[in-house]
Amino acid sequence: MEKGPLVIVIDPDEQLSEVSLDLCSTPGSPGRVQARPSLEAIMDAESVKRVRSALHGPPVPHRLSLTLEGPGRAGQEAGAELRSTCGGGGVLLVSPPPDAWTAEDAALMVERCPDVLISLRVRPALSVRYVNAALLEVTGYCPDEVRAEPYLLRDAVHPADLSRLRSDLSAPTGLSAPVRFRFRHRTKGWRWLELSAMPFLDEDGEVVFVEGVARDVTHRRRLEEQFRLLAERSPEMIFRLRLLPSFGVDYVSSACREMTGQPPEAFHSEPRKGLVHLHPEDEPLFEDFIEHPERFDNSPFRLRFCHPDGRTCWTEWVGVPIYDDEDRIIAIEGVCRDVTERQAQEEVLRVMNQKLNLLASVTRHDTLNQLTVLIGALELAGTAEDSTELGWFLDRARSSANMIRRLVEFTRDYQEIGQGPPAWVPLAPTIRRAADAFFGSSLSIRFPETEVTILADALIEKVFFTLIENAQRHGGSSLTEIRFLVEPGPSGSLKVICEDDGAGVSAADKGRIFERGCGKHTGFGLYLAREILGITGMTIREMGVPGAGARFEITVPATAYRTPVLTAPLSPEVPPA
């Protein structure tokens, strides 16, 4: 702001004999100047009329309202007082309004700005043209030092960042984003600075100098680094998907490698590359998520990725739409987690609920049927005329009662399936524990020596017990050996094989042996084995040749086993006791 009113001395001929410099040049310049400009060069026509009317009026002070013209003051309103002088003419004291903005105000604001305002010469060498007082706080260097030694700041830039900084500042199109670089503070060591600048070009279109703003972002950089480390160490994939102006991946954490089989760099260079492995059935859902993210705001949904190693990875996504000032959705930020095991457990619970409902219905029906037979046999036994007829009815009653007992036992065993969550169990030790019950028999049992572990229900040991018992019960006199093998299966699966050298399974029974109630004993063993395996997606079938031994093949999905080696030699034969 000006220190006092601006002075205009008007002689009797209405010529200006003296004018404050601020009224005939850029505002804020100090001093006074002798000049002979006209009133028309300083104020508009209406203001000139008011001044001249006052000059010819009574010799008393006149208060006037003026509109100034000239450099830096076009259209500026001001108050003025005209005082007459002896012999004609007068002195016009012009007072701009208190809130008038002057070049001096602008200069003070620049010097007091907490950010470094800087002008850099790019050619022939990077040097400083101007820098404000904030430089001292941000870098530890005084502006006067830099003015005396223009290359001082350049030499304090980290050598690894200097070449990139020069290249970015030399781009005729300017900086597409603020550039960050390391700078050695005079007393505080290396600091991170961020520069936003605009280029000025010569007639050849080359950058001559740039002007911009630099600020210390060391603290922000450290926070970003802490967040990055947190995100990179998280088992969950953290992401930001850019929607406008075009689709892209602004950020994705390294957990994407485990879930999609692609590193983060692949998403940055080709945003849709990771989606190549998205399950075809889930592609419409993901496209809907991209096109209408507001529908999914904080609402989890699941997608499958077909991993390059053959396994299927279930993922759960939670995204939040990001809006700009025009209320447009410009990005989606969120997290994605691996829920493969949870999905498997949920599927197990769903299937088990269905099976338990079916079990309750079927078992009730079978039990009632057997009770009807039992009651009928007992009633008829009371009418028997001789002991032979009575014995026949009692045998029927005893047989029905035993069947009711087996149904109750089956219900107990079936109820235990899926009671706990599936767990990873070592295959060979589990088979060995199942075979311990047959120690002392003449049967030879061979086991695979493999480090494979399988995801199975807690009753998995009962499956191998049933297979050994089934072979012993139905193998006949030719049975001498049972072998357990591990072989690779189709589509990344694994086969666990149980084969023997007994009588085998007849062609008529092959399609029925896993049905409930089928068999020469209780009819529940193989049925329960199939149900236990099905908890984690495993299947079983009989592939042996009748008369040449039984061969049961258990297929383990790629997601339900872990092993460094798919095949392994068999262990030495377990000698008969």
Question: For the ranges 39-53, 175-189, 348-362, 550-564, which has the lowest average pLDDT?
Answer: 348-362
Q: Are strands 237-242 and 329-338 parallel, antiparallel or unpaired?
A: antiparallel
CATH code at position 434: 3.30.565.10
Decide which of 41, 72, 101 is a domain's last residue: 101
Same domain, 37 and 133: no
Per-residue pLDDT tens for 318-331?
A: 999 999 988 999 99
Q: Is the pLDDT of residue 256 over 90?
A: no
Q: What is the pLDDT of residue 192?
A: 94
- Cα distance between residue 126 and residue 140, in whole Å: 20
Burial 250-269 (b: 16+ CB within 10 A, else e): ebbbebbeebbbbebebbee
Per-residue pLDDT tens for 494-523?
A: 999 999 988 888 887 777 788 765 555 445
Q: Is the dihedral of CA 56, 58, 59, 60 positive or negative?
A: negative
Task: Look at residue 213 and tell me if it is in a domain.
Answer: yes
Task: Look at residue 58 and tell me if it is in a domain.
Answer: yes
Same domain, 446 and 332: no
Phi, psi of 268 (to 5 degrees): -70, -40
Q: What is the pLDDT of residue 2?
A: 43
Q: What is the pLDDT of residue 577?
A: 36
Same domain, 19 and 86: yes
Task: Look at residue 567 and tell me if it is in a domain.
Answer: no
Same domain, 349 and 333: no
- Cα distance between residue 242 and residue 92, in whole Å: 63
Neighbours of 445 (CB within 10 A): 23
Amino acid at 338: D
Closest CA to 2 of 37, 28, 33: 28
Same domain, 428 and 410: no
Q: Is the pLDDT of residue 373 over 70?
A: yes
Q: Is the pLDDT of residue 570 over 70?
A: no
Task: Look at residue 434 and tell me if it is in a domain.
Answer: yes
Q: How many domains does the chain have?
A: 5
Phi, psi of 254 (to 5 degrees): -70, -10
Domain that holds residue 412: 344-416
Check: CB of residue 165 under 8 Å from CB of residue 182.
Answer: no
pLDDT-based confidence at 412, cuts 50/70/90? low
Distances (CA, A) of 37 to 18, 25, 26, 64: 9, 11, 15, 20
DSSP 244: S
Decide which of 416, 436, 453 is a domain's last residue: 416
Neighbours of 168 (CB within 10 A): 18
Same domain, 155 and 210: yes
- Cα distance between residue 165 and residue 154, in whole Å: 10
**What's the mean per-residue pLDDT of the chain?**
82
Task: Look at residue 511 and tell me if it is in a domain.
Answer: yes
Same domain, 407 and 431: no
Check: CB of residue 234 under 8 Å from CB of residue 255.
Answer: yes
Same domain, 274 and 317: yes
Per-residue pLDDT tens for 196-243?
A: 989 998 888 888 889 999 999 999 899 888 888 888 888 899 999 999
Task: Look at residue 12 and tell me if it is in a domain.
Answer: yes
- Cα distance between residue 146 and residue 135, in whole Å: 9
Neighbours of 402 (CB within 10 A): 12
- Cα distance between residue 535 and residue 533, in whole Å: 5
Q: What percent of the chain has pLDDT over 90?
A: 25
Amino acid at 237: M
Per-residue pLDDT tens for 53-91?
A: 998 888 888 999 898 887 667 778 888 999 988 778 889
Q: Is the pLDDT of residue 100 over 70?
A: no
Q: Is the pLDDT of residue 360 over 60?
A: yes
pLDDT-based confidence at 418, cuts 50/70/90? low
Check: CB of residue 556 under 8 Å from CB of residue 492.
Answer: no
434, two tokens: 């199942």
Same domain, 433 and 558: yes
Task: Look at residue 568 and tell me if it is in a domain.
Answer: no
Closest CA to 75 of 101, 105, 106: 101
Residues 6+ apart with CB under 8 A from 266: 273, 274
pLDDT-based confidence at 361, cuts 50/70/90? low
Task: Look at residue 186 and tell me if it is in a domain.
Answer: yes
Q: Is the pLDDT of residue 172 over 60?
A: yes
pLDDT-based confidence at 551, cuts 50/70/90? very high
CATH code at position 278: 3.30.450.20
Neighbours of 106 (CB within 10 A): 12
Same domain, 327 and 389: no
Burial (CB count within 10 angstroms: exposed 0-12, middle 13-18, buried 19+), residue 518: middle
Q: What is the pLDDT of residue 516?
A: 66
Decide which of 190, 222, 254 is a domain's last residue: 222
Q: Is the pLDDT of residue 576 over 50?
A: no
Q: Who has greater pLDDT, 519 or 526?
A: 526
Measured at the CA of 108, the angle between CA 102 and CA 111, to 5 degrees, comes to 145
Q: Is the pLDDT of residue 260 over 90?
A: no
Q: Is the pLDDT of residue 565 over 50?
A: no
Same domain, 400 and 490: no
CATH code at position 370: 1.10.287
Question: For the ranges 31-40, 100-109, 252-261, 346-355, which has the lowest average pLDDT?
Answer: 31-40
Same domain, 334 and 358: no
Amino acid at 263: P
- Cα distance between residue 352 and residue 52, in whole Å: 104
Average pLDDT value for residue range 561-575: 51
